[in-house]
Structure 1
């Protein structure tokens, strides 16, 4: 079943006049960033600023050294609404450019849910930056499941000023889910996002889907907000 939804998400901030999404300051050999979106390139493909159904207040910090070492925290959801849960994503890694067109990055993300501690998980990631485009992969090995993700962000190639990002993930369950007398031990999901700025507003058109359908969707526990095909139009405006 295919469903279409439209979400209008507004990021709140201190100043109503400025429109930058990131505050930046140098601290000796370190560079500190505070913002409403993840500032780290590869982690940005995995740590999502927000998702349909979650509260719209989110943000984090990023601290990087001239050597390429960095670490930071980001909260995609502050758990302010009844249907959302506080989530804090902590990451650290190393980024090294070979030149202005090519570089690599590796790191680790820890997903923490203070109110749901058994759901904490870790994810290793790595990839290449090529001409402004990011190609990466990640792997998480949790006690009861394994997730493998491929993602690409074609920000360096924007036909008609439109950015494109894609993500594909396979999920292997440690304990198969039982549905209608059968069992489901694995499934996959994917998403594609088109983005463009218009008059200070970030416009995003997102399509997501999975390999499950019908009653099998009761076993779904992937990255997308729902199992079936979903088309989402998201508009974000920052007021600082």
Structure 2
């Protein structure tokens, strides 16, 4: 897998608190297209890079070629805020349309934590783009478990101007985790996000939950911020 040492320098001009609206700076360089921004810009990777950016500085870059190949890095946390470690999600892949309504994409993501001893992990993803909506699947190999993810972003069909995205993941521990009253060998979690702009503000309503409950939640290590059902309302406004 690759490392782009220039990430930190490029992010110097892109650092933005999570209350800021996503900003994308784009420049064409011959057959290459470079994007810098405060949100992931790659279609499939955007649904898979770690989404937790609340209270942290974040940003990334994406470099694509006319042939369909691309590489990029996204940092959901620059390690500046208290309790937040530096994380770099590096990805590479290939994207091509079949025609004007249908396309495909495959790629690989590596999650790394340079400042801590947490081992790196990898994720293989692929999917289809149909009429502006994205449907994908991913397989990842974490140090302690295996994860299989299904995700969908229905951007191509927004009833009443509301964007809809969904994610469902099954997690299988390499070794069952002990909890009060037994062991947890596997679990699932899911999330549903509704998004709509309103008077210059991006509003997100997010519901997340998992198959664990009670004492079993002590074994939870999934995508959501907590094990039990949670409803989150998030509002973002552009400062620049």
TM-score (norm 1): 0.89
**Pairing 1:135-154 to 2, within 5 Å after superposition:** 135-154=135-154
Q: Deviations over 1:74-100 (max 9, x none)?
A: 011122222222111000000000111
With over 3 angstroms needed to count, the CA separation of the structure-2 counterparts of 1:202 and 1:49, relative to structure 1, is farther
**What is aligned with 1:100?**
100
Structure 1 CA distance for aligned equivalents of residues 22 and 224 of structure 2:
28
Could you tell me whether the CA contact under 8 Å between 2:57 and 2:77 is conserved in 1? yes
**What is aligned with 2:118?**
118
**Pairing 1:64-213 to 2, within 5 Å after superposition:** 64-213=64-213
**What is aligned with 1:21?**
23
Structure 1 CA distance for aligned equivalents of residues 127 and 77 of structure 2:
26
**What is aligned with 1:39?**
41
- Which one has the bigger strand percentage? 1
- Deviation of 1:200 after TM superposition, in Å, equals 2.3
- Deviation of 1:117 after TM superposition, in Å, equals 3.6
Structure 2 portions without partners, runs of 5+: 1-16
Higher RCO (C-alpha 8 Å, min separation 6): 1
SS in 2 for 1:47: coil
Count of aligned residue pairs for this structure pair = 224
Could you tell me whether the CA contact under 8 Å between 1:55 and 1:79 is conserved in 2? no
**What is aligned with 2:227?**
227
Could you tell me whether the CA contact under 8 Å between 1:60 and 1:75 is conserved in 2? yes
The root-mean-square deviation of aligned C-alpha atoms, in Å, is 1.6
**What is aligned with 1:10?**
19
SS in 2 for 1:75: strand
SS in 2 for 1:10: coil
Structure 1 CA distance for aligned equivalents of residues 58 and 221 of structure 2:
22
Could you tell me whether the CA contact under 8 Å between 1:163 and 1:194 is conserved in 2? yes
Structure 2 CA distance for aligned equivalents of residues 238 and 49 of structure 1:
19
Structure 2 CA distance for aligned equivalents of residues 170 and 113 of structure 1:
23
- Deviation of 1:113 after TM superposition, in Å, equals 1.0
Structure 1 portions without partners, runs of 5+: 1-7, 12-18
Could you tell me whether the CA contact under 8 Å between 2:152 and 2:166 is conserved in 1? yes
Q: Deviations over 1:153-204 (max 9, x none)?
A: 0000000000000000000000111012411110000000000112222110
Structure 1 CA distance for aligned equivalents of residues 63 and 218 of structure 2:
40
Structure 2 CA distance for aligned equivalents of residues 77 and 198 of structure 1:
27
